[in-house]
Amino acid sequence: MQPERLIIFDTTLRDGEQCPGASLNKKEKLEIARQLALLNVDVIEAGFPIASPGDFESVELIAKEVRGPIIAGLARALPKDIEAAARSLEKAENARIHIFLSTSKTHRDFKLQKDKGEVIKMAVDAIKFGRKFCDDIEFSPEDASRTEPEFLAEVVEAVIDAGATTVNIPDTVGYSVPDQFGKLIASLKTNVPNIDKAIISVHCHNDLGMAVANSLAAVKAGARQVECTINGIGERAGNAAMEEIVMALRTRRDFFGLESEIDTKHIMACSRLVSSLTGFFVQRNKAIVGKNAFAHESGVHQDGFLKKKDTYEIMNPCDVGLDASELVLGKHSGRNALSDRVTKLGYKLSQEELDQVFTDFKALADEKKEVFDEDIVLLIQKETTVDEALNTYHLVKVKMAFESGTTPTAAVTLTSRDGQQHSAEGTGDGPIDAIYNAIDNITGQPCRLLEYQVMSRTKGKDAQGEVTVRVQHENRVLLGKGIGVNTVEASAHAYINAVNKLLVNTKSGPVDGGDIQGP
């Protein structure tokens, strides 16, 4: 008998992007959506179209460009939100409007100030309105796990009658525990007469570290869609991590008896892409995608592992896209070898992009003895995710002087978009501070450095460093990234990247100044 299928609904670009500090531009979102399509997710929630013009355009772009998965847009239970979602999804091959409305007592009393009857009416009206644009309507009773179970059942029955095809049960504040959450799903299956007319979905937050466990308990109880994100990113402590859900199903098929359609060998590439573009590093011991997830340190483990792998390993690293054997790329490698590696890494580049990556690869190979897969991924990202519209300033030259007991000084030269060169000097508490002050003297937009991180992204003494900065200008906080073998230059690039974003003003507020409340 064929195992039943679990629908994977990815919300990295909506709930994931909504978390503090993660802000992606349109090109970056499209890049992630393409990787999600390679992973073969069933649904990509591409954004919350009414939230900002930028969000609307991203959903529109993904709906136009990405084929395969259903593309979903989020909407409150309001006609203007639903209309915006429908418009942004017009070009999608398959579209879904995801409507949400709070149902718990606290949310009803304090957030919505509506009684139970009003909430049901609002949900039903919204679904009927949504069905005018789209046959695929998902409804989420927000804060479902803290809603009175009888009322939740009433809402679910009413929205299915009104035309919802998927009913999502969110544990919005990560309050549930697996046994209780599984029972909630089981009770909906028993007590809602029309439950068979819709797919039951779950959406769990990780405030108590139980998002994956709660989701899997719900699956065991009959949920057939899980909402999740790559690396588990999301509002506050995040959402259920997709890679964990998928690999749990696969590794414990004996227990769950379910399959997903995910092409798991793209998991690592997708995880690295999301981590790099959001600036959220994956903890080393993170299940499935952490650096240590398939590494063995203790002598006893190594001994057992060498005798038989499954003494200490329950999954094959190749299944998630890790390559046990390494083919070394260096300065003698040609374009074909690079192109082959790029394809194996799951990227599809235009000829022009490949030419540029090849030029950068040759330059890097001259600096480094070995160019690893991670290096190639960084080169590709540099080429494919830089938004030209953001490139107001380019670094031409940086020079710094530092001697113990003296104040560090730096001299920086930048070109602006009109091709003019600008030079300035700066001093600071340290050499990087001096460089950043020199840049401020050129741009005239002084920023406060909130966070500065250097990560070695590749291997060896001559590894490429990735510098991530978070800077604040007035009430805006921006993320900047720079990559290079020379960390000082990479630091300057990261700061310039953040300042360029500031100058372009990419992220705007609600279109109509309305009261958007992050779900």
Q: Which residues bind ligand KIV (CB under 6 A)?
A: 15, 100, 140, 142, 168, 170, 172, 203, 205, 519
Smallest gap, in angstroms, from Cβ of residue 203 to Zn ion? 6
Closest CB to ligand KIV among 170 and 408? 170
Q: Under DSSP, is residue 364 helix (H, G, I), strand (E, B) or coil?
A: helix
Pairing of strands 409-416, 95-102: unpaired
Q: Which residues bind Zn ion (CB under 5 A)?
A: 15
CB atoms within 10 A of CB 87: 14
Distance of alpha carbon 389 from alpha carbon 417, whole angstroms: 10
440 binds, among ligand KIV, Zn ion, none (CB under 5 to 8 A by kind): none
212: tokens are: 């994956």
Distance of alpha carbon 488 from alpha carbon 432, whole angstroms: 7
Smallest gap, in angstroms, from Cβ of residue 309 to ligand KIV? 39
Smallest gap, in angstroms, from Cβ of residue 315 to ligand KIV? 29
323: tokens are: 């390559």
In degrees and rounded to multiples of 5, residue 253 shows phi and psi of -60, -30
Closest CB to Zn ion among 15 and 383? 15
Distance of alpha carbon 127 from alpha carbon 185, whole angstroms: 22
In degrees and rounded to multiples of 5, residue 479 shows phi and psi of -100, 135
Closest CB to ligand KIV among 15 and 440? 15
Smallest gap, in angstroms, from Cβ of residue 34 to Zn ion? 23
Closest CB to ligand KIV among 35 and 140? 140
238 binds, among Zn ion, ligand KIV, none (CB under 5 to 8 A by kind): none
Per 3-state DSSP, the chain is made up of helix, strand and coil in percentages (nearest 5) of: 45, 20, 35
Distance of alpha carbon 460 from alpha carbon 325, whole angstroms: 17
Strand segments, DSSP code E, in 14-89 are: 43-47, 70-76
Smallest gap, in angstroms, from Cβ of residue 45 to ligand KIV? 9
Closest CB to ligand KIV among 141 and 465? 141
Q: Under DSSP, is residue 437 helix (H, G, I), strand (E, B) or coil?
A: helix
Smallest gap, in angstroms, from Cβ of residue 161 to ligand KIV? 21
Closest CB to ligand KIV among 206 and 384? 206
142 binds, among Zn ion, ligand KIV, none (CB under 5 to 8 A by kind): ligand KIV
Which residue type sits at 80? K
Closest CB to ligand KIV among 227 and 244? 227
100 binds, among Zn ion, ligand KIV, none (CB under 5 to 8 A by kind): ligand KIV
Q: 156 and 200 in contact (C-beta within 8 Å)?
A: no
197: tokens are: 């007319």
Residue closest to Zn ion, measured at CB:
15
Alpha helices by DSSP H, listed for 318-457, are 335-344, 351-367, 373-385, 431-443
Smallest gap, in angstroms, from Cβ of residue 172 to ligand KIV? 4
Closest CB to ligand KIV among 405 and 518? 518
Smallest gap, in angstroms, from Cβ of residue 198 to ligand KIV? 15
Q: 31 and 17 in contact (C-beta within 8 Å)?
A: no
Distance of alpha carbon 279 from alpha carbon 467, whole angstroms: 9
140 binds, among Zn ion, ligand KIV, none (CB under 5 to 8 A by kind): ligand KIV
Closest CB to ligand KIV among 25 and 168? 168
Smallest gap, in angstroms, from Cβ of residue 168 to ligand KIV? 6
Closest CB to Zn ion among 232 and 279? 232
Which residue type sits at 256? F
DSSP per residue over 252-318, as a string? THHHH-EE----GGGHHHHHHHHHHHHT-PPPTT-TTTSTTTT---SHHHHHHHHH-GGGT-SS-GG
Element housing 495 (H / E) = helix 487-504
506 binds, among ligand KIV, Zn ion, none (CB under 5 to 8 A by kind): none
Distance of alpha carbon 49 from alpha carbon 134, whole angstroms: 15
In degrees and rounded to multiples of 5, residue 472 shows phi and psi of -125, 130
347 binds, among ligand KIV, Zn ion, none (CB under 5 to 8 A by kind): none
481 binds, among ligand KIV, Zn ion, none (CB under 5 to 8 A by kind): none
Smallest gap, in angstroms, from Cβ of residue 140 to ligand KIV? 4
Closest CB to Zn ion among 15 and 55? 15
Pairing of strands 70-76, 393-401: unpaired
Smallest gap, in angstroms, from Cβ of residue 144 to Zn ion? 11
